[in-house]
Chain A
Amino acid sequence: MPEVLFAMKRIHRPLLLTVLLVPVVALLAACGSSSSGPSKSITLYNGQHVQTTDTLVAAFERESGIKVNVRSDDEDTFADEIVTEGSNSPADVIYTENSPALEYLQGKSLLAPVDSTTLARTPSRFNSPQGGWLGVSARVSVLIYNPSLIKASELPTSVLQLAEPKYHGKLAIAAGETDFQPIVTSVARTNGRAATQKWLEGIKDNATSHIYPDNETISSQVNRGAVAFGVINQYYWYRMRAELGAGSIHSKIAYFAPHDPGYVIDVSGAAILKSSKNQSADQKFLVFLVSREGQEIIAHSLSFEYPIVPGVTTAAPETPFNELQPNSITIPQLGDGSTAIGLLREAGLL
């Protein structure tokens, strides 16, 4: 047997050397590359869709010469990470799909005020009343349905009907998505906590095995006929259509009745962390988000969100923003989402 091992030794000596040398070389390379970054850069915690952010960031970098390091994850994760990170946070700016995460950070006094001239560019009802964060774009909650599995006339017109037994096995939801929490908050505002609790339990029964991790999955599963209908934000359907091509679309979207508690406008926003050491660069990034150029990018990219700066509109076929008839719930009423999370948890949906 020693002969075998000696033969192997000859074969493997270079391999052994490689094994031992790789970390040294790699570490040197890593050190070299990390010290040679551009002079001015900010770190963005991105809870928004990557493609929206990437297009915006690329345009901003071109224009300002400021490099933006993007870290993408769920915005709720980021919000709590920032709280834990405290003054050590590597983040300068946070950009989210929904307002509650920003409200939560504002409540913890972790946000620096946004310049008032920047805030003035967008309608004040879409910004933080305290000025801690800036509204950037908006979306609306709708139903996605597969006409071969459920007729449009059979769809619920109110979000409260989602809990009715006749929808057992037909409904899909993404309880962990940040887009679902505003609906829960809105229902709790109109109907109270106890009724909302009961409603959520009904939803849980109806959704059976169709509780999905995100809206993309709901859209895809409804479109493929795995489940009849689900609750999403409108832009997921448009995005799916852009990705798959109109020929592969077997689903439609439907709106709730005007002013229904489920007919909620969700605002996507951005904020600067108090702990950031690049405040002026951060402010420039926020200005860019609500600049004409930034808003046009949002309006015409494959994001399909509604820009909120007056004068910039999305391309057809989306229902124009000013024709929507949402519920009257305001941003402060949507709050930091803790009520919704508590209710979802008690219902066993989280």
Chain B
Amino acid sequence: MGTQAPAIRGPVPPSRWASVSPRRAPRPWLLLGLSTAVALVLVAPLAFLLFEAHGAGTSTIVHLIFRELTASLLWNTVRLTVVVTALCAVIGTAAAWFVERTDLPGRRVWAVLVVVPLAIPDFVVSFGWASLSTRVAGFQGAVLVMTLAVYPLVYLPVAASFRNSDPGQEELARSLGAGRLQTFWRVTLGQARVAILGGCLLVALVLLAEYGAFEILGYQTFTTEIFTEFNVSFNVPTASALSLVLVLLSLVVLSGEGLARGRGRLSRSGPLAQRAIRPHRLGRARLPALLGFAVLVGLALGVPIGSSVYWILRGGHAFLTGVSLLDATWHTALYSAIAAALSTTMALPVALLAIRHSGRGYLLLERSTYLVLAMPGLVIALALSYFTERYANGFLYQSAPLLVIAYAILFFPLALVGVRASIVQAPVGLEEVGRSLGRGRVSVLLRITLPLVSPGLAAAFCLVFLSAVTELTATLILIPTGVQTLSTQFWAYQQNLSYGQAAPFALAIIAIAALPSVVLGRFFDRLPSRGRPAR
């Protein structure tokens, strides 16, 4: 246990045989160089957009932004984000509490079933609902569909937090005379606050960036409007200006989450406080709870999958030609795997530098890469597309490498989360032993650090792979000529109302994405690797 490195504060050598102080160590030039390069690549699309928007002239931008349509888009985007985020917070937290803290029958099965919707792209959930009923449309349709599609983003971190938090505080509160409800509200939720906020942040960012689901539901947001603008006129200043509004909205969400979280406090009485949590007895609430879970899983999982199966069974004419399922699957897997490897590789130096070497600059470098979170896939794709076309003489334009690079940039924060988590866990002492035995930096990296963090690399790989497989918006723009991925071919069929032909592609996406989800579930389940709560 003593080798547990603190999360943020950096490389305080925790073990007594760590004699080499990192402050005396030479500057990690290689890591620094690599990390700087990565950070520059990540921030480049944003810089490019700023440059283009600036070049367009203020009057054009003002004219574009300050018109009636912008106000209605803003209203649509904001109200949806607020309502869905709130709903996800309630549903995700409630589900996590029941699974982790009560004696709900079949908890292990529910724990898997409530997470699986993460593997279903939002546009497939949307398709599943909208193709069955015309009433799923507009604002209410968007609230329903998006809540069901993204609540796992709150569930996952909150469940992990419930699993690892200290039950002693709840007992203490009760013993001091707090009622059940008061204890739940002030202690249990208080402990999960950071996790809930983190989940809500992810939900809000997804909502700001979503395109496919809203297009199907006929709900206009900033992202759908930028896409239309891009379709009507492939126009740098227009799209850049609107994109910047979107980036600004994302930044507001990001900083809002930071403010609400405040200073993180360690909610643990001592290092040994982790122990088995005695589950709450549900008693008579058992049946309603079970019913609730059945309804949630039925709506979030049953409807999209059921609807896809329905359309396949119903058949329809082979109306449209397109690439085969096998071909699309191959390209999807290929691009996603390369992007995942690239993203993971890029995350490694940034995470190593921030965690293994002290220095405000290094942390700042790491933090700057989170700016990518504020850039929706559409914005990154447009920036890369314009850039290669206008300034790189068409080099890489409409090519597979550019699509892969876009994925790698877009999902870099996810890779960083995975890599970071396991570097924090890996005992720094082993590296120092290696170095004290005469091994060079590179040798230590390859022979000690990499094997130690390999679970984290695998998790990062899976996270990025999963996200790339389900990506639609950037893919539509950057797809190489003559190629289709599962999502673009699904989209082409869906747009032509060929539901019977679209459905197999939807199921293929779910099938491919489900596998890394399971691997991820296992990784994050093991991650704390402290005392496990009793099951």
List residues 1-39 of chain A with CB under 8 A from any CB of chain B: 1-2, 4-5, 8-9, 12-13, 15-16, 19-20, 22-23, 26-27, 29-30
Q: Is the CB of A216 within 8 A of B341?
A: no
Return the chain A residue nearest B235 by Cβ: A80
Inter-chain contacts of A19 with B (CB < 8 A):
340-341, 344, 457-458, 461
Q: Do B454 and A209 touch across chains, with their CB atoms under 8 A apart? A: no
Whether A43 and B319, one on each chain, are in contact in the complex, defined by CB atoms closer than 8 angstroms, is no
Q: Which chain B residues numbered 405 to 430 have a C-beta less than 8 Å away from chain A?
A: 425-427, 430
Q: Determine the main DSSP class of A at the interface with B.
A: helix
Is there contact, CB below 8 Å, between A27 and B492? no
- B1 is an interface residue with CB less than 8 A from chain A: yes
Q: Which chain A residues numbered 60 to 78 have a C-beta less than 8 Å away from chain B?
A: 69-74, 76-78
Q: State how many angstroms separate the Cβ of B332 from the closest Cβ of chain A.
A: 13
Bound: A54/B319 CA distance, A: 11
Known: A9-B452, A220-B497. A1 touches B1 (CB 8 A): yes
Residues of the B chain whose Cβ atoms lie less than 8 Å from the Cβ of A78: 234
Indicate whether A348 sits within 8 Å of B69 (C-beta atoms), given known contacts A12-B458, A15-B458, A77-B230: yes
**Cβ–Cβ < 8 Å partners of B504 in chain A:** none
B85-93, B185-193, B393-401 - interface stretch: B393-401
Instruction: Tell me the nearest residue of chain A to B500, going by C-beta.
Output: A243
Q: Could you tell me how many residues of chain B have their Cβ less than 8 Å away from some Cβ of chain A? A: 67
Interface flag for A302 (CB, 8 Å) = yes
A49 to B389 alpha-carbon distance, docked (Å) = 26
Q: Is there a chain B Cβ closer than 8 Å to A315's Cβ?
A: no
Given the contacts A5-B426, A213-B228, A341 and B233 also touching, CB distance less than 8 Å: yes
A242 touches B482 (CB 8 A): no
In the complex, the answer to whether A90 meets B481 with C-beta atoms within 8 Å is: yes
CB contact list, B202-225 vs A, under 8 A: 215, 218, 220, 224
The interface of chain B, by Cβ under 8 A from chain A, is 1, 3-4, 67-69, 72, 134, 137-138, 215, 218, 220, 224, 228-236, 316-317, 319-322, 334, 337-338, 340-342, 344-345, 386, 389-390, 393-394, 397-398, 400, 425-427, 430, 450-452, 454-455, 457-458, 461, 481-482, 492, 495-498, 526, 529-530
- Measured CB to CB, the residues of A under 8 A from B are 1-2, 4-5, 8-9, 12-13, 15-16, 19-20, 22-23, 26-27, 29-30, 43, 49-51, 54-55, 69-74, 76-81, 83-85, 88-90, 176, 209-214, 216-217, 219-221, 224-226, 239-240, 242-245, 302, 341, 348, 350
Sample (30) of A-B pairs whose CB atoms are under 8 Å apart: A1-B1, A1-B4, A1-B427, A2-B427, A2-B430, A8-B454, A9-B451, A9-B455, A12-B458, A16-B450, A16-B451, A19-B458, A19-B461, A23-B341, A30-B334, A51-B496, A54-B321, A72-B492, A74-B232, A79-B234, A84-B389, A90-B397, A90-B481, A176-B231, A214-B495, A219-B497, A243-B496, A244-B316, A341-B233, A348-B68
